[in-house]
């Protein structure tokens, strides 16, 4: 197996000396290490020490890379398997969270397409400050693994969390990040502080998800809709983003928060959803989870339809909505992997097989709704494809979403292997 390549960014802080030990540990483990020192970092450790230990050139400023023929900053940011920031100062974390790129280190962090692990070190008050908490939450939401600092006496004499984790602990976190476990349940469901999100099997893939119901107005106060909480679709969008995909979520009207890292477009009607889906193409995979209303009112009344007291009901003419999934299957920009959902109460698999053929998609995720999962937290699904049926146990919707991402990643890798750079 090729030696793992680490790009180590060393921020300014008294703990920077521990980065020297970290370089030693990584080299001992057979990894190649390229070091980048921030201007503040240079005050604490010298490029010479790091160059000697890493046996590699050390970079300190964007101008070191002036000779773009030799090594451009984009290349430097991408040739590693993992980018490690240690120590990650409050200032560096803030810049990372804000997308600021005003020196070599922050430019590399913004330009990289590789997982990032940050080992923070700062004064306890700085670590506990609302601004740092906010930045750490944002970074974890973006998929950066931010380690918890150690607790103890600080160089400044105060006591509490903020010490740089020991080099051995950072090395373990690096090994873990490189071994790439899938994000665990809950990573994206209100606990971003615990998101490891360092494995991205869908990195470089663009995924479209539709979710929720559509509302088809009859008049300004009434509409036609299917029952749908949007939870499964949102969990799928969240899992796709956590797995590294670029995710476009076209969402019908549901009061759910946008999962971290997901681009969300809100729509009301099936026609709007169809247009946004079209605008989102091309994608590597589309997962159509939305419960699209089959019909819309043929004429929308601009004013509220009034009861006139006579007992007569107003005529309600319906028009058929486009089938977004079937339309996508036939379009010139058909995604290489097209997945539909089906809610069934009986003969789940037979109905799903028929739907697979009718819609022209690659998989139907058939949902057994006989035990009332509408709005519930769990789902029992069968993945029906030309190859057969993959039946899963009843699982939390987040777990269904994660398992589906693994299956999608495998399928996409099979069809078009990811770039090996």
Residue 341 CB, shortest distance to ligand C5P, in Å, is 4
Closest CA to 187 of 235, 223, 147: 235
Alpha helices in 29-123 (DSSP H): 47-54, 73-78, 90-98, 104-111
Catalytic residue among 128, 156, 319, 374: 156
Closest CA to 76 of 100, 48, 107: 107
- Pairwise CA distance, residues 33 & 185, whole Å: 32
- Pairwise CA distance, residues 384 & 417, whole Å: 23
| Minimum CB distance to ligand C5P smaller for 34 or for 382 | 382
Residue 92 CA, chain-centre distance (Å), reads: 22
List all residues 6 or more positions away from 209 whose beta carbon is below 8 Å from its beta carbon.
233, 236, 237, 240, 247, 248, 249, 250, 286, 287, 288, 289
Closest CA to 203 of 243, 232, 175: 243
The string over 203-241, giving b where at least 16 C-beta atoms fall within 10 Å of a residue's C-beta and e elsewhere, is bebbbbbbbbbbbbebbeeebbebebbbbbbbbbbbbbb
Closest CA to 85 of 57, 110, 65: 110
Q: Position of tokens 């200032």? A: 91
Residue 228 CB, shortest distance to ligand C5P, in Å, is 9
| Minimum CB distance to ligand C5P smaller for 49 or for 226 | 226
| Minimum CB distance to ligand C5P smaller for 95 or for 380 | 380
Residue 324 CB, shortest distance to ligand C5P, in Å, is 3
Indicate the burial class of 359 (C-beta count within 10 angstroms; 0-12, 13-18, 19 or more): buried
| Minimum CB distance to ligand C5P smaller for 112 or for 210 | 210
- Pairwise CA distance, residues 111 & 77, whole Å: 6
| Minimum CB distance to ligand C5P smaller for 109 or for 342 | 342
Residue 175 CA, chain-centre distance (Å), reads: 21
Strand 58-59, strand 82-88: pairing = unpaired
Residue 352 CB, shortest distance to ligand C5P, in Å, is 10
| Minimum CB distance to ligand C5P smaller for 53 or for 288 | 288
Residue 326 CB, shortest distance to ligand C5P, in Å, is 7
156 given a catalytic annotation: yes
- Pairwise CA distance, residues 164 & 232, whole Å: 39
CA angle 419, 205, 365 (to 5 degrees): 130
| Minimum CB distance to ligand C5P smaller for 169 or for 271 | 271
Q: Position of tokens 């091309």? A: 282
Residue 275 CB, shortest distance to ligand C5P, in Å, is 13
Residues that bind ligand C5P (CB under 6 A): 210, 270, 288-290, 292, 321, 323-325, 340-342
Residue 206 CB, shortest distance to ligand C5P, in Å, is 18
Q: Where in the sequence numbering do the catalytic residues fall?
A: 156
């Amino acid at each position: 197996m090729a030696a793992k390549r680490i790009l180590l960014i060393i921020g300014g802080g008294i703990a920077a000396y521990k980065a020297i030990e970290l370089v030693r540990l990584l080299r001992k483990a057979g990894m190649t290490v390229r070091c980048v020192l921030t201007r503040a970092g240079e005050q604490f450790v010298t490029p010479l020490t790091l160059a000697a230990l890493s046996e590699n050139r050390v970079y300190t400023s964007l101008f070191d890379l002036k000779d773009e023929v030799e090594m451009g900053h984009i290349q430097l940011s991408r040739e590693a398997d993992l980018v490690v920031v240690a120590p990650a100062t409050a200032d560096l974390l803030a810049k990372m969270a804000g997308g600021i790129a005003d020196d070599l280190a922050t430019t590399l962090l913004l330009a990289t397409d590789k997982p990032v692990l940050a080992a923070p070190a700062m004064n306890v008050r700085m670590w506990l400050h609302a601004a740092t908490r906010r930045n750490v939450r944002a970074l974890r939401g973006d998929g950066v693994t931010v380690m918890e600092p150690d607790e103890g006496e600080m160089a400044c004499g105060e006591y509490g969390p903020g010490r740089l984790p020991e080099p051995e602990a950072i090395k373990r976190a690096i090994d873990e990040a490189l071994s790439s476990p899938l994000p665990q349940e809950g990573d994206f469901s209100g606990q971003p502080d615990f998101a490891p999100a360092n494995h991205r099997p869908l990195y470089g893939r663009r995924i479209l998800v539709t979710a929720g119901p559509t509302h088809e107005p009859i008049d300004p106060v009434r509409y036609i809709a299917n029952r749908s909480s949007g939870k499964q679709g949102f969990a799928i969008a969240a899992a796709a983003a956590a797995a590294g995909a670029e995710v476009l979520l076209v969402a019908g009207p549901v009061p759910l928060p946008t999962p971290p890292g997901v681009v969300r477009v809100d729509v009301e009607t099936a026609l709007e959803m169809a247009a946004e889906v079209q605008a989102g193409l091309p994608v590597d995979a589309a997962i159509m989870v939305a419960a699209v209303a089959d019909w819309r009112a043929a004429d929308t009344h601009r004013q509220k339809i009034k009861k006139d007291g006579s007992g007569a009901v107003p005529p309600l003419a319906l028009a058929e909505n486009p089938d977004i999934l079937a339309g996508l299957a036939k379009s010139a920009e058909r995604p290489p992997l097209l997945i539909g959902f089906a809610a069934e109460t009986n003969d789940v698999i037979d109905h799903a097989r028929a739907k697979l053929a009718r819609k022209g998609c690659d998989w139907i995720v058939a949902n057994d709704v006989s035990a009332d999962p509408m709005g519930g937290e769990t789902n029992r699904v069968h993945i029906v494809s030309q190859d057969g049926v993959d039946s899963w146990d009843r699982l939390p919707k987040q777990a269904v979403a994660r398992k589906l991402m693994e299956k999608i990643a495998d399928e996409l890798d099979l069809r078009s292997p990811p770039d090996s750079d």
